[in-house]
Chains A and B, each alone.
Chain A
Amino acid sequence: METKINKNNNFYIPQIEKRNKQSKRFRLYALSAVVLSLSFLAFFLIDIIKAGIPAFTQSSVKIEISIDEETANNPYGILERDMSRLVSRAWLRSFPKEIEAHPEWIGTTQTFWALLNAEADQYLKGTQSKLKENQKSKLDALLQEGLIERKFNATFFFTGDSKIPENAGFYAAIVGSVLTMLVTMSLAVPIGVMTAVYLEEFAPDNKLTQIIEININNLAAIPSILFGLLGLAIFINFFGVPRSSPLAGGMTLALMSLPIIIVSSKAALKSVPASIRQAGYALGLTKWQVTKDHVLPLAFPGVLTGSIIALAQAMGETAPLIIVGMIAFVPDPVTSLTSAATVMPAQIFTWSGMPERAYIEKTAAGIMVLLTVLISLNTIAVLLRKKFEVKW
């Protein structure tokens, strides 16, 4: 590749080598910056995935139980002492319901896969555990006999939070996030887009409009926790919206998303060529007809992308939601907009502060779910933009 430059011809420019070297050096700086940031990202992802993958499986033990009236009443007594220390309390607690559902079992002996508790599970996954030596050897023995299996952890996806680590799941947080985002989007998108349309198409270009626009740009850069304080003051304290509810959280996040949606929609509207508007006006169309049928469709991909990006950002937001109380312990998925709920990032935050080891892998798994959602949202934004972009 590298050929020596011949100085003895009339194409030669003095200092050309030096200038080439400069650009080569600059290229190297830029490249190393890219490599550095990519390796940080890769490191983070690998770390999270390594920590989170184990959370998607949990260990169960195969046990035989002879069932009589007594077992139905006192589930905690069905197992021998050393075994009941290893099996999940949550599993034991749900046992009577199982029997109730299957009255024909009474008087027989049945085989179950009983969920092990988090300490046992952690030991089997090879992490530190507070188990006593004899418990560890018991687990090893069971494993040898093939009575222990790691199964897909459906609990994680289908239950809410729990003080029993092996019973804690992400479902309530997912539902909470979905409801909260519904509130956020149904408020922020229409209000944001209409504001952008007004500012861009209708507002006179005067000092007042300029001041408003500058302030909207500033709002987009305000620390999100302040929106939480605003939401607390306005929605909860003044309007009496229930604390911790998807309604309160969604409205607060809508406040935060609004500036982003307004700014991106305004940019999308601005990028619509003036000639389209002139064509419309010259045909005697009204401002609204031109805006609705000719300008907005062209701005649509930009508006859509902006809204999805704002949605993704709101979905990952924790600070303002902590302020409006969406950090509560919520074992059951929320069923109404006004009852207490938690959201994905808040759930992750809660787990990250728990002392039990089992919550570490749950934290990482929660991050994986959240990241997957966010990355899918961004991908959808890009794809939709491509799909709807008008070809000229």
Chain B
Amino acid sequence: MDVKVKVDKLNLWYGTNQALHDISIDLYDNKITALIGASGCGKSTFLRSLNRMNDLVESAKIQGNVIVDGKNIYDKDIDVVSVRKRIGMVFQQPNPFPKSIYENVAYAPLKHGIVKKGSDCDELVESSLKSAGIWEEVKDKLQAPGTSLSGGQQQRLCIARTIAVKPDVILMDEPTSALDPISTEKIEALMLELKKSYTIVTVTHNMQQAARIADHTAFFHLGELVEYDETEKIFVNPKLKKTEDYITGRFG
């Protein structure tokens, strides 16, 4: 098991309110790590600090290291744009661009110079949509607006869009919480497929989902990382009472 992302003593403040306390955690390559915990405990904040989306929040102040492949992404000599290219993100609400399905996938790779316009680009769009398991549904209407798809399809389009820039790590913030059970199942299957090539970190409020797909699970509480272990251990045999209480639904 290779460590892909090594988080070291991460602290984060929104103004004077500290949202993350001394988080240290190793995230493994080709594994799915689930982040669980009560609402407001800092899961999204933590996830966003892994690709520096928190830079967009003006009040956010961050301290500590996030080391990806041996390099701290918060180092001064690293450009935030290149960080986000390598560490992609999928959001809770599907947010396709109000452009065609094709453009949704092709836009960023073209800008990054991954492909040139033409058959290369067509191929990348096709392979990305295939990896996201949505090719069959959209191959005949690539010029239709991305927003005309169903919620579940939109979410898979967003995943295809993320894959298309060829990231190493994919962060997902409650990717299925806005979706129906069938769409959820499709996304879960997709995540299991994607972990073969990517490191996946996902936030979920759904304990069954964490149990079904995650290799490792991290339990957050009030901005602290309480317990982190293989999913099976967390669910069957948690070390701490707090974790057990949360998992069995006694609070949160």
Physical interaction between A and B = yes
Using a CB–CB distance below 8 Å, which chain A residues touch chain B?
204-205, 273, 275-286, 289, 293-294, 297-298, 390-392
Tell me, yes or no, whether B165 is within 8 Å of chain A by CB. yes
Q: Give the complex CA separation of A40 and B162 in angstroms.
A: 59
Q: B53 at interface (Cβ–Cβ under 8 A)? A: yes
A332 → chain B, closest Cβ, in Å?
50
Q: Is the beta-carbon distance between B111 and A285 smaller than 8 angstroms?
A: yes
Which of A275, A281, A282, A297 meets B162, CB within 8 Å?
A282
The residues of A that contact B161 with a CB separation of less than 8 Å are: 279, 283
Distance, CA A277 to CA B56, complexed state (A): 10
Residues of A within 8 A of B93 (CB): 275
CB contacts (< 8 Å) of A205 on chain B: these are 58
Residues of B within 8 A of A391 (CB): 98, 145, 147
Q: Note all chain A residues with C-beta closer than 8 A to B223.
A: none
Measured between beta carbons, the chain B residues less than 8 angstroms from A277 are 56
Q: Identify the 9 closest CB pairs spanning chains A and B, nearest first.
A: A284-B85, A282-B89, A275-B95, A283-B108, A284-B84, A390-B98, A279-B95, A284-B81, A392-B147
Q: Count of B residues near A, CB < 8 Å?
A: 29
For the complex, give the distance between the alpha carbons of A289 and B90 in Å: 19
A294: nearest residue on chain B (CB-CB)? B97
Are A289 and B88 in contact, CB atoms less than 8 angstroms apart? no
A282 to B58, CA, bound (A): 17
CB-based contact B162/A283 at 8 Å: yes
| Docked CA distance A154–B203 (Å) | 74
Binding site for A on B (CB under 8 A): 51, 53, 56, 58, 81-86, 88-91, 93, 95-98, 107-108, 111-112, 145, 147, 158, 161-162, 165
**Could you tell me the distance between the alpha carbons of A276 and B91 in the complex, rounded to whole angstroms?**
11
CB distance from A299 to the nearest CB of B (A): 12
- A273: chain B residues within 8 A (beta carbon): 95
Query: Which of B91, B97, B165 is A284 in contact with, Cβ under 8 Å?
Result: B165
Contacts of A392 in B (CB 8 A): 98, 147
Question: Are A282 and B81 in contact, with the CB atoms below 8 A?
Answer: no
In the complex, residue of chain A having the shortest beta-carbon distance to the beta carbon of B81: A284
Q: Are B98 and A283 in contact (CB under 8 A)?
A: no
Kindly list chain B residues whose C-beta atoms are within 8 Å of the C-beta of A275.
Answer: 91, 93, 95
Q: How distant is B86 from chain A, measured CB to nearest CB, in Å?
A: 8
Q: A281-B53, A282-B53, A283-B85 are in contact. Are A298 and B98 (CB under 8 A)?
A: yes
What CA separation (Å) do A155 and B89 show in the bound complex? 67
Q: How far is the CA of A281 from the CA of B89 in the complex (A)?
A: 9
B96 contacts which chain A residues (CB < 8 A)?
279
Is B111 touching A282 in the complex (CB atoms < 8 A)?
Answer: no
Find out whether the CB atom of A204 lies under 8 angstroms from the CB atom of B85: no
A283 to B81, CA, bound (A): 8
Chain B residue, CB-CB nearest to A286? B81
Q: Nearest Cβ distance between residue B73 and chain A, in whole angstroms?
A: 12
CA distance A278 to B57 in the complex (A): 11
The complex places the Cα of A58 from the Cα of B88 at a distance, in Å, of 74
Contact A283 B88 (CB under 8 A): yes
Instruction: Across the interface, name the chain A residue whose C-beta is closest to B145.
Output: A391
Beyond the given A273-B95, A293-B107, A391-B98, could you list 6 further A-B residue pairs with CB under 8 A, ordered by the A residue number?
A205-B58, A275-B91, A276-B97, A284-B85, A284-B165, A390-B98
Q: A289, B111: Cβ atoms under 8 Å? A: yes
B44 → chain A closest CB, angstroms: 12
- Determine the distance from Cα of A275 to Cα of B89 in the docked complex, in whole angstroms: 12
**Contact residue among B51, B82, B84, B95 (Cβ-Cβ distance under 8 Å from A276):** B95
CA A289 to CA B109, docked complex, whole Å: 13
Give, as a whole number of angstroms, the nearest-CB distance from B49 to chain A: 13
